[in-house]
Structure 1
Amino acid sequence: MGKSSRDKRDVYYRFAKEGRFRARSAYKLMQIDEEFDLFTGISRVVDLCAAPGSWSQVVAQRLASEKDVTDRDVKIVAVDLQAMAPLQGVEQIQGDITKKETSEAIIEHLEGKFAHLVLCDGAPDVTGLPDFDEYIQAQLLLAAFNIATNVLSPGGTFLAKLFCGKDVMTLLSHLQRFFKQVIVAKPRTSRNSSIESFALCKTYCPLSQYMPNVNTTVLPVAGLSVPDHPPVPFKACGSEMGYDSDTNYPLQVCGNYEHRDWSGSG
């Protein structure tokens, strides 16, 4: 389906075209990184539901700029059901993240090492039925997180798209059992009218009773004894002086960080 006229007027859509990113979602990851510094000191990243590849583009550009990371250390694995055009420095797997064989392929690509960061910007085709859409999105997040529990290093970070519906706190409470800090982040690139946010889970520290299992996409947390967790904070990301995705701008806009060439291609 072609882009609507609203999409083409969107300032981040235009920035993506001018900056040679494959999708406007690249700016969501950049704004979350700007707020939480996702990439400092890491070298191995798994990008789930990666197509068309805009998040993998950002990851490759950011890791290439890290002074303490050599080419030999960097490992970026992108996974999606759809085939993606090649990206320099990114290894691709075409597969379903709910399937055992996909999890095993990711583990094989990591060559016995753990990932420092697992990303998932995947979302289902929205039906317009909120409860159903939120349920499917939650299942997709759980599938991504199950892979994360099999490949993420202790202290690692997990970032995944989240639909903030009525049952979101149940999902976040599950994630809090595995991470020291869970934050709901809303980048400025994400439209105010959208229920989309991102669950940012920092410092992976699974309970000693938990055993990762590539055969399931359900978090087996029932019966595990853990202390009560604090409320999950909500954080808006992106400069207050930056561009608003719900506002129309003239064709010529400049003077802010979003308009720089972040692609590393000149």
Structure 2
Amino acid sequence: MCRWLAYSGSPVRLDDLLYKPANSLVMQSKHSRLGVETTNGDGFGVGWYGTEPTPGVFHSTEPAWHDRNLRELAAQASSRRVFAHIRATTGTAIQQTNCHPFRHGKWLWMHNGVLGGFPQVKRDLAMAVDPGLYPEIEGSTDSEMFFYLALTFGLEQDPRAAVAEAVGFIEDAGQRRGVEHPVQMTVAATDGETTWAFRYSSERNSRSLFVSSDVAALQAQYPEHELLGKLSDDSRLVVSEPLGDLYGAWQEVPEATCVVVRGGEQEQYPFEPAAPAVAAV
């Protein structure tokens, strides 16, 4: 399927996240350890926040390991908050508009997983998207449709509740169409200040998700580590799979959980779908 990372904290260059770690995201694009597919070469994307209220995004259909423009960008650009995603398509076209992260205003969104039976439920889901938002959908993926459903259900006001209602709606639509397991997901969303990450699947066997441990403790444990030495105490990473093998650096996110990262604070909450206010037809 896909691999992704969500970083927040002190400003870091993109290559510190994408290239330098032993199991960097670019390395995972060729040799994923925990993904469904070993290779995630169907495009990539990076989103980051700079001086403007709207985040920048860079998408490419090239494999991440092969794109010279990504290496040039990563060597120069730095940010306090970065979303990065490498794609393994589940059937939709390899094109820039299908690359994550997706953007709406100040929001970024990315997804690893699949909406089961998407061709069968696509019309039901599309008809539920707010008519004012629907024209913004540019690609053909289930992930982007999921994003716009979450926006429709109030992502900008209450992300946890909105994603719970979107998942509930998708499950209801899938079950009505005979789909056994409608949702498989790890999802990340941010408004530039807070990151919300979700691990959930209808079959209760979700794709992997990890959060980084306390940076100050890791710096004390590994005083010579180059990247750790650059990070402030409030720096946090949420990742599909660990970027390295440092003992104690990563904690697996439990099944059916929402992680909220705000500054140096990191909280976890149980996650369950909410019954949709309006059932899929």
Q: Shorter-chain TM-score category?
A: 0.3 to 0.5
**Larger strand proportion of the pair:** 2
Normalized against structure 1, the TM-score is what? 0.32
Normalized against structure 2, the TM-score is what? 0.31
